[in-house]
Amino acid sequence: GFNFEEVYGERGRDFIEIHHIKPLSSLKEAVAINPKTDLVPLCANCHRMIHRRKNEVLTVEQLKALTKKLYTELR
Ligand SMILES: [Zn+2]
């Protein structure tokens, strides 16, 4: 939901990070990547939080649950 252009102007246009749902390091051999099912666009903050703990990479759903909890508590 984060729009880099809204915050950073022209410099942020078309900027997004791409997350591999299956970590590349878990793939033993070369496989074809399907962008629709294997990749997800994330803002840089959310991407960093998903990878914050090396041994516990969150799913997007887990990250959403965390942020919802935080926003609910801040209100
Ligand atoms: Zn990632």
CA 17 to ligand 1 center in whole angstroms: 8
Residue 63, phi then psi, degrees to nearest 5: -65, -45
- Give residue 38 CA to ligand 1 midpoint distance, Å: 11
Largest distance between two CA atoms of the chain = 47
Domain residues for the domain of 34 are: 4-74
Chain centroid to Cα 43, Å, comes to 6
Residues 4, 15 contacting (CB under 8 angstroms): yes
As for how many domains the chain has, the answer is: 1
**Does pLDDT of 49 surpass 90?**
yes
What is the band of 69 on the pLDDT scale with cuts at 50, 70, 90? confident
CA of residue 64 to ligand 1 center, whole Å:
15
Please tell me what DSSP assigns to residue 59: P
Distance CA 22, CA 33 (A): 10
DSSP assignment letter at 63: H
Q: What is the pLDDT of residues 1-15, one digit of tens each?
A: 788 999 999 999 999
